[in-house]
Amino acid sequence: MGGFPLTAWQGYLDAHAARFLDEFAELLRIPSVSTSPEHQGDVRRAAQWCAARLAAAGFSEARVCESGGHPLVYGEWLGAPGRPTVLIYGHFDVQPPDPIELWQAPPFEPAVRDGRIYARGASDMKGNLMIAVAACEAFLHTSGRLPLNVKFLLEGEEEVGSPSLPAFLREHKELLAADLAVSADSGQAGEEQPMLLTALRGLAGLQIDVRSASSDLHSGIMGGIAPNAIHALVEILASLRGPDGAILVDGFHDDVRPLGPEERQEMARIPDDTPAMLRHAGIRAAHGEPGYTPRERNWARPTLEVNGIWGGYQGDGVKTVIPCEAHAKITCRLVPDQAPARVLELLERHVHRHAPQEVEVSVRPLPGQGFPYRIPDDHPGQLAAERALRTVYGKAPYRYRLGASVPVTALLQEILGMQTVAFGFSMFDEGMHAPNEFLRLGNFAKGQRAFCLLLEEVASD
């Protein structure tokens, strides 16, 4: 406990730590993979679990809400009139577990090893979701009240880009009205080093489909005559990025806010974890746009990645076909002030301009577009979060950007007019979106304490 005053909520958190972990594991056991149609029922089960859990924590209202896609969960406790209201955001869906053969244990059978809990969704973000719920429960079950009004909004489509969220926000503006949003979908820089998130990247994605003939062809009989869909796709993909990683799409960088010397200096002050990240991921050397450090590229420059490619024969041995189809999925991470629709337009134009004439090329947007996001350093919510983190960690948080995307932050700003403080306790090495994802149990406990303090700090503003 160190130098912390033993508050009622702290005592409660300590007393119920084992149960919170059990409940966390219960949630991890639900394979709520939002991108897979066969897991539709599991995503709904996760929603029902969350609604029931909020009710058990003492929220006066907690319900599953329908949307065009996977359901959402709304909860509220509004027993502090005159006090501010925060809207806590999170998601209960997870990434697919594949490649499943690389997991050391089944991805939906949580296993505790060496102070960590391993399962798909442990770090992204069922742990952070449980942290927020546990913190609220600690207030409600000890004092019967929260220090301010709290609304919960949990979605089941974050990992597919929150397609139903914009309409839901627009239709429930009043219900969701708050002074500040707190996104639990975030992390810290280290076990002993807090951080404050100041920017997130946006997302835009598309699929390219190439067709060169009505069926696969015999490479002997048609070789030298027929075009090859894979070669055509390769040509298109090679035109999108240079070998050095620079994006070559015309106009792609037009709306990118240039990185000033002060910003670059501030970023450079934070210890560089790139070498450790590379080592951890088994990477030979960092790679990307020349003229920027890896961190600058990850935090403040857009990227373009082929996420998947397929075409022709993928089985054992040899099959001498000229494949008639080839496909690629591509996503871009965007930075201020890029707009997803504009980026997609530029990409589509580029693809068609570089498409070999002898094949048929079509392009379609992938779900999950999202604007990039920034919150000012002196925003009161950021300052409250800074005080809470200083108390728990005993030091000032880094001002961090993040290369990842949480589309909700841009949507909450655009539709509900509120800024978002990111307040989560995952770490970068925890295998999010990859096999053997885990969360550190130390952070699970520390996060609950920090979250209680955050609610008190915002309440006292």
Interface residues for its own copies in 127-186 (CB under 8 A)?
A: 160-161
Residue 14, helix vs strand vs coil: helix
227 binds its own copies (CB under 8 A): yes
The residue from 82, 99, 258, 290 that contacts its own copies (CB under 8 A) is 99
| Choices 108-116, 134-142, 280-288, 378-386; region in contact with its own copies by CB under 8 A | 280-288
249 binds its own copies (CB under 8 A): no
| Choices 138-146, 168-176, 371-379, 433-441; region in contact with its own copies by CB under 8 A | 433-441
Strand ranges (E), 165-266: 180-183, 195-200, 202-211, 217-218
| Choices 170-178, 216-224, 341-349, 448-456; region in contact with its own copies by CB under 8 A | 216-224
Cα 351 off chain centre by: 27
Residue 13, helix vs strand vs coil: helix
| Choices 75-83, 93-101, 177-185, 250-258; region in contact with its own copies by CB under 8 A | 93-101
Maximum CA extent, the chain: 81
- Are 159 and 129 in contact by the 8 Å Cβ rule? The answer is no
Residue 158 beta carbon to its own copies: minimum distance, rounded to whole angstroms: 11
Residue 436 beta carbon to its own copies: minimum distance, rounded to whole angstroms: 8
The residue from 226, 383, 441, 459 that contacts its own copies (CB under 8 A) is 226
Residue 342 beta carbon to its own copies: minimum distance, rounded to whole angstroms: 19
201 binds its own copies (CB under 8 A): yes
Cα 306 off chain centre by: 18
101 binds its own copies (CB under 8 A): no
CA gap 164, 365 in Å, rounded: 16
- Are 9 and 138 in contact by the 8 Å Cβ rule? The answer is yes
Structure token digits, residue 451: 């979250």
Structure token digits, residue 169: 């926000």
Q: Which is nearer to its own copies, 54 or 206 (CB)?
A: 206
CA gap 420, 440 in Å, rounded: 25
The residue from 5, 82, 144, 224 that contacts its own copies (CB under 8 A) is 224
Q: Which is nearer to its own copies, 269 or 284 (CB)?
A: 284
The residue from 66, 143, 313, 341 that contacts its own copies (CB under 8 A) is 313
Residue 99 preceded by cis peptide, ω within 30: yes
- Are 120 and 94 in contact by the 8 Å Cβ rule? The answer is yes
Q: Which is nearer to its own copies, 150 or 322 (CB)?
A: 322
256 binds its own copies (CB under 8 A): no
- Residues constituting the chain: 461
Touching its own copies, residues 260-279 (CB under 8 A)? 274, 277-278
5 binds its own copies (CB under 8 A): no
# binding residues, its own copies (CB under 8 A)? 105
CA gap 335, 337 in Å, rounded: 6
Name the strand (E) or helix (H) holding 289: none
- Are 458 and 86 in contact by the 8 Å Cβ rule? The answer is yes
2 binds its own copies (CB under 8 A): no
> Tokens 């770090």 appear where?
123
- Are 123 and 431 in contact by the 8 Å Cβ rule? The answer is yes
Q: Which is nearer to its own copies, 2 or 224 (CB)?
A: 224
Touching its own copies, residues 314-333 (CB under 8 A)? 314-324, 326-329, 331, 333
- Are 66 and 129 in contact by the 8 Å Cβ rule? The answer is no
121 binds its own copies (CB under 8 A): no
Q: Which is nearer to its own copies, 228 or 382 (CB)?
A: 228
Site track 285-304 with its own copies (rule: CB under 8 A), x = hit: xxxxx--x-xxxxxx-x-x-
∠ CA 410-299-248, rounded to 5°? 95
Q: Which of 400, 433, 415 is nearest to 370 (CA)?
A: 415
Cα 154 off chain centre by: 13
Site track 342-361 with its own copies (rule: CB under 8 A), x = hit: --------------xxxxx-
Residue 172 beta carbon to its own copies: minimum distance, rounded to whole angstroms: 25
Q: Which is nearer to its own copies, 64 or 309 (CB)?
A: 309
Site track 381-420 with its own copies (rule: CB under 8 A), x = hit: ---------------------xxxx---------------
- Are 92 and 54 in contact by the 8 Å Cβ rule? The answer is no
Touching its own copies, residues 27-56 (CB under 8 A)? 35-37
231 binds its own copies (CB under 8 A): yes
What DSSP state is assigned to residue 83? S
Buried b (16+ CB within 10 A) or exposed e, 343-365: bbebbbebbeebbbeebebebeb
